[in-house]
Every structure is written in structure tokens, then in C-alpha cells.
Amino acid sequence: MNQKGNVLIVDDELSIREACRKILLKEGLHVDVAEDGLEAKEKIERENFDLVLIDLKLPHLSGEDLLHWLRSFNPDIVPVIITGYPSFDSAVSAIREGAYDYVPKPFTSGELRRIVRRGLERKFLIQEMHKLREEQEKNLKLISQEKTKLKSVINSMADGVLVVNRYGKVVLYNSAIRHILNLSGNCLDKSLEEVIKRQTLIRLVNSQLKEKKKKVFSQEIGINNRDYLVNVASVSDNGEKLGVVVSFRDVTKLRKLADMKSAFLNMVSHEIRSPLSIIEGYLDVVLKGIVKDENQIKSMIERVKVRTQTLRELTDDLLNLARMESEKIKRELVPINLQEVILEMVEFYKDKAREKEIKININIEPVPSIMADRNDIALLFTNLLDNAIKYNVRGGSVDIHVKKEGFDLCVKIKDSGVGIPKESIKLIFDEFYRVKNEKTRMVPGTGLGLSIVQKIVKAYRGKIKVTSKEGEGSSFSVYLPLENLCRGLEYD
């Protein structure tokens, strides 16, 4: 026998016990004996036996009862029945109850060795099977754990992930992709065409599935008003393509930044370069003495002053925008009398309004003082009044109405100017956006004023409403919660 075993011999005949013990000891086995069922039971409970030879005819506890108990105590122990011819039927019955085999009395040493050898081989096979099963369960558990970890990692990713096998079937996806593509139900093992309805994306994946070389396909795709950079990469093993991995990265903010950068460069090119060229031209004429008339020289210098004011306003707008977009804005909250701020603002723009013969009408109803940053409030209404005058017609009017409306402080600034096209109203708060038509083409501006206005209103948890009609003017209504303004909350 290649493996050693631990054998218990249970028989009430001393000669049988000793004969079996000597035969099995010569085989290198560890052998113990018991003369009745109760003694055997005690030894089995104390020691680990691989095989038990049981005589059916035992005192105190019969062989059948011991066999029955053994199957419940440890079914891995191999029981072999020792029986005489008169109890042959009992031996067969015992086998049906779970005994591995039987050896009839009288038996030869060869028969005993052969039966014990087969029984121990069975025991060792059972042990190996258990070991393999444990390893398999351990491996399955590890695989399950790895799958769980992988799923957790993928689901925690902000990027959408979709994995398709070589047959175009979906085998893995995360919660982000479910949200991006509006997926519903279980999408596993479904074809790409069943899951995705966007032909551009389907063509991109199919192209990668057909591609023989290892490449990564990238394309920017618009989905539900968002911009996504879609990367499609192949998955291979030893040169054999297994499928593709599709990742979706939201680049909406990056796209917006790129558009803003382009708009900023265009704005700088026009709003800075043009005034500088004009200033340079006027100064060149004056310095070279080309113009001698003092009135003409004065007129040129006044024009230079206007252009420098435009550049200063542009610089102020850019600095204010940078301040508004700063992650940490320090606001000094002080009690503010809104009537004083409005009157100061109107006084500041009096000359500009007079140049275009614009009449400013003020209606300020009794409202409580507010707790806010004075620079914020001044900048908010200065930008609105500046636009109301700048885009107004000669001889027009501007109406300013301050009142308490519900739980809000409402400031309404209405002009009789050129108005805003309907399709542009939703865009006027975007940075660097300007309405460009024949009526606004010559009006200087940066496209930042209303963006700054909106950022201030949001900082105070307010809202702004716009109504406008081309040729009839525009109305901007700012609503600021009085509860917050009166308590003096700190704003982010």
C-alpha cells in the first residue's frame, strides 16, 4: 500500500482480532482493536480512523447499530463488514446501508489485504476529492471575490465602461454607462444593436471588432446634450481578439472651456486690438504734427480717452469674472441701504444717459436694509444699468423699480432699447456671448457683464428673469431672498 492508513478492528473473537491485526501491521498500517460496539464507538470518537472492520455479531452494540451510528458520525470512514455465512444476508443488507464491502469468515490474509487495500484507496480518493472540492470552492470564492472587486471598481468609475465580446455581445458594463446611454433592464449577453441605438457608436465598435491591428479608436460624440470622448480599444490574448472595451469620458466642461477660450481669443483680438490700433493711430497723427488744429487734436484725445475707458472696462470685467470663479471668495457683509446704492449708480451713469438723451425713471418702494457685500450689489446693478443705456435707442428710457415681492427683494430694470432676439435669450448669460446684428455691431462690450450678474445672483441664492422683444426693449428682474439677506448669511 502506497499510503499508510489507520484501521480499527471490531470483533468479539480474540483470535480474529489478533489475526487481522498481525496481517495489517505487516502492511505498515496503524491498527487498533475493540471487542464490542461500545468500545469501538468510544475509540472512533477519540481517534481518526480511515477504515473500520466490523463484525455484525457484537455484544452491547450490534454491528448494524454501530454501522448506522458511524455513517452519521463520520461518513468518510470506510466500513467493511466481517461476517460468517449464516449472516450473509445481513452483510448484503449492511452494504445497502452504506458498508463499503464485506469479508466472509473464514478468510485468507490475501482476501483481507485486498479488501482493506481497496477500502483505503476509496478513503484516500474521498480525501483527495474533498481536498479538490475545497480547492475548487476556494478558487471559486477567489474568482467571485475578484469579480466582485472588479465590479466594484468599475461601478465606482465616473467614466462609463462597456465591454463587448468578439461576437458583439455585451458582457460587462457599469452604472455610469447605464446613466449615460439611458439603459434599462439587464443588458448582459445582448447584442450591441439591442442595447445601443446610436449608429455612430455601433459603427465605431464594429470597426474595432473587424480591425486586425491593435489600435485605439477615439471619437467625440454628443449624447443627451453632453459631450463624450469615446475610446474603443481591443482586448486580445496571445494575438487572438477577445472583444473590445468602450470607455466614455464626459468632456462637456473641457469642450465648454475650449469654446470659451476660442471666444476669449476672438474677443481679445477685437475688443483689445482694435482700440489699441485706434489709440496708436490718433497718437501717431498728433505726435508727427500731421494735425495742427487744436480743436481736432482735442477731439482725437477725447476719442483716445473713450478707447482707454473701453479697455479699462474690459480689464475690470475680466478681473471681476476671475474673482467670481475663484473657489474661495471673501465677502464682507455689511448693512446696505439699496436706495442709496441705486441713486449712486444712477448718478454715475447720468452723463452717459444724457449723451443719448435717455431718461432714467426711479421707483423705489420701502424695503428693509440688506446684509450683503457692497461691491457685489454695486457690480450687479451697474452691469444691468450699463447695458440698459448702452443698448438703448436715442431718446429712450430706463425704468428702475425696487419693491418687496413675496419673500424676495425684487429689482427690475427695463429699457426701451433694441431688444434681444428670442433665440439668443438663453445664451446671453454665457461667458463672452454677445448678440451680433446691425443694431449691436458698433456697441463695445466684452460679453462678460451678464455672466457676472448671474454669478452674483446665484451666490446670494437668487434668480433672474429676462423678457425681451426685438425693437421694443428688454426687462431684467432680479429676485433676492430677503430672509437670507436680512440674516446676513455667509455665501459660498
136 found inside a domain: no
How many other CB atoms are there within 10 angstroms of residue 11's CB atom?
25
> Which run of H or E residues covers position 177?
helix 175-180
Q: Are strands 463-469 and 473-481 parallel, antiparallel or unpaired?
A: antiparallel
pLDDT grade for 42, boundaries at 50, 70 and 90: very high
Q: Is residue 31 part of a domain?
A: yes
Q: Dig out the grid coordinates for 394 from the structure.
A: 436715442
Q: What is the CATH number of the domain that holds 233?
A: 3.30.450.20
47 and 195 belong to one structural domain: no
Among 72, 97, 131, where does a domain finish?
A: 131
| 348 plus 306 within the same structural domain | no
Tell me, yes or no, whether 276 and 309 share the same domain.
yes
Q: Give the phi and the psi of residue 87 in degrees, each rounded to 5.
A: -110, 30
Q: Which long-range contacts link 267-271 to residues 24+ away (Cβ below 8 Å)?
A: 267/432, 267/446, 267/447, 271/310, 271/314, 271/444, 271/445, 271/446
CATH of the domain at 68: 3.40.50.2300
Distance, CA of 204 to CA of 201 (rounded, Å): 5
In a domain, 142, yes or no: no
* Same domain (yes/no): 258, 381: no
Give the model's pLDDT for residue 397: 93
- Whether residue 148 is contained in a domain is answered as no
Give CA angle at 120 (72, 76), nearest 5°. 20
272-323 confidence digits (pLDDT tens): 777 788 788 888 888 888 888 888 888 888 888 877 877 777 777 777 766 6
CATH number of the domain residue 311 falls in: 1.10.287.130
Please report whether residue 281 resides in a domain.
Answer: yes
| Shared-domain flag, residues 478 and 334 | yes
| Parent domain of 246 | 157-250
Residue where a domain terminates, one of 97, 131, 165: 131
Mean pLDDT across 26-37: 91
Number of folded domains in the chain?
4
Residue 339 and residue 258 in one domain: no
411 with 456, same domain? yes
Compute the distance between CA of residue 146 and CA of residue 149 in angstroms, rounded to an integer: 5
Q: Is the pLDDT of residue 365 over 50?
A: yes
Q: CB neighbours (10 Å) of residue 105?
A: 14
Tell whether 275 and 422 lie within a shared domain. Answer: no
User: Of 229, 250, 271, which residue sits at a domain end?
Assistant: 250
pLDDT of residue 327: 52
User: What stretch of H or E contains 46?
Assistant: helix 37-46
Tell me if 31 sits within 8 A of 73, measured CB to CB: no
pLDDT of residue 275: 74
* Stated pTM of the model: 0.47
Cell of 103: 469479508
Which range, of 51-65, 155-169, 337-351, averages the lowest pLDDT? 155-169
Q: Are residues 109 and 12 in the same domain?
A: yes
pLDDT reported for residue 143? 62
Q: Which of 13-17, 22-26, 33-37, 136-140 has the weakest average pLDDT?
A: 136-140
Report how far residue 20's alpha carbon sits from residue 113's, in angstroms, rounded to the nearest whole number.
9
The vertex-191 CA angle with 185 and 197, nearest 5°, equals 75
The per-residue pLDDT of the chain, averaged, comes to: 82
Residue 448 lies in a domain: yes
pLDDT, tens digit, for every residue of 73-127? 988 889 998 877 545 566 677 777 778 888 887 888 898 989 898 888 888 888 8
Asked if the bond preceding 106 is cis, omega within 30° of 0, the reply is yes
Q: Between 427 and 322, whose confidence is greater? A: 427
Say what the pLDDT of residue 491 is: 40
Strand ranges, E, within 205-308: 216-223, 226-237, 240-250
Question: Which of the given ranges, 99-103, 228-232, 463-467, has the highest pLDDT on average?
Answer: 463-467
Residue 260 lies in a domain: yes
Would you state the pLDDT for residue 489? Answer: 46
Do 355 and 474 belong together in one domain?
yes
Tell me what pLDDT residue 412 has. Answer: 94
145 part of a folded domain: no
Buried/exposed 401-432: b ≥16 CB within 10 Å, e otherwise: bbeeeeebbbbbbbbbbbbbeeebeeebbbbb
Question: Does one domain contain both 341 and 292?
Answer: no
The CATH number assigned to the domain holding 354 equals 3.30.565.10
Task: Give the DSSP H/E element, type plus range, for residue 48.
Answer: none
Q: Do residues 262 and 374 share a domain?
A: no
Label the pairing between strands 78-83 and 51-55. Answer: parallel
